[in-house]
Structure 1
Amino acid sequence: MEIKQTALAGTLESSDIQIMLSQGEKGIHFDLTSDVKKQFGEDIMATIQSVLQAYDIENVLVKVVDKGALTPVIKARAIAVAQRALDLKDEPNWEVL
């Protein structure tokens, strides 16, 4: 699926994560900012990428600012931003949840 609009989910509060999706080219490209990037960067990106794959999003630029979010929070924010970017806010994909 193609991104219909740039979308944002999350905050910059402690223990949260902010994810922004915008139209990209040739695959999924990450711009990750995190104090724990060295330890958990790969896990953060893998969690977001699994949600994007569930929505069949292939060409996207993913900007992530992590403030120590746990995996369930990362997944919830990724689902929210994917639905906003695809303009599916009123049509949740229950299989992803």
Structure 2
Amino acid sequence: MEINKISKAGTVESNDIYIVMMPNPEGGIELELESIVMKQFGEEIRRVILETLENLEVKNAIVKAQDKGALDYTIKARVETAVKRAQ
């Protein structure tokens, strides 16, 4: 899937994640992650985001994620929504 415009999904409420997705003219996936649970779950959140992008066949995107303790299924849903909105 091609990311053609800036899109957003989620909120900055507790137990949610706010995703901003943008085209990456330089190519590749660039991920900026902020989380209140970064020390405990930062790598897992990063893995879920990247795996979801891979499953959706997104190859070029800049992703900014602001996590407030979201569970895996919420992270996947927010990433998928942002990708679909960026079409």
Given the two structures, how large is their TM-score scaled by the length of structure 2?
A: 0.91
Equivalent residue number for residue 72 of structure 2: 71
1:51-90 alignment, distance < 5 Å:
51-86=52-87
Question: Runs of 5+ in structure 1 lacking a partner?
Answer: 87-97
Whole-Å separation in 2 of the counterparts to 1:6 and 1:70: 24
Whole-Å separation in 1 of the counterparts to 2:7 and 2:15: 21
Instruction: Compute the TM-score of the two structures, normalised by the length of structure 1.
Output: 0.82
| Alignment length (residue pairs) | 86
CA RMSD of aligned residues (A): 1.1
Q: Name the larger-Rg structure.
A: 1
Choose 51-60 or 11-20, whichever is displaced more: 51-60
Structure with more contact order per residue of length (Cα contacts < 8 Å, sep ≥ 6): 2
Q: How far apart are residue 50 of structure 1 and its match?
A: 1.4
Which stretches in structure 2 are left out of the alignment for 5+ residues? none
- Aligned-residue sequence identity (percent) comes to 45
Deviant stretches of 4+, over 4 Å: none
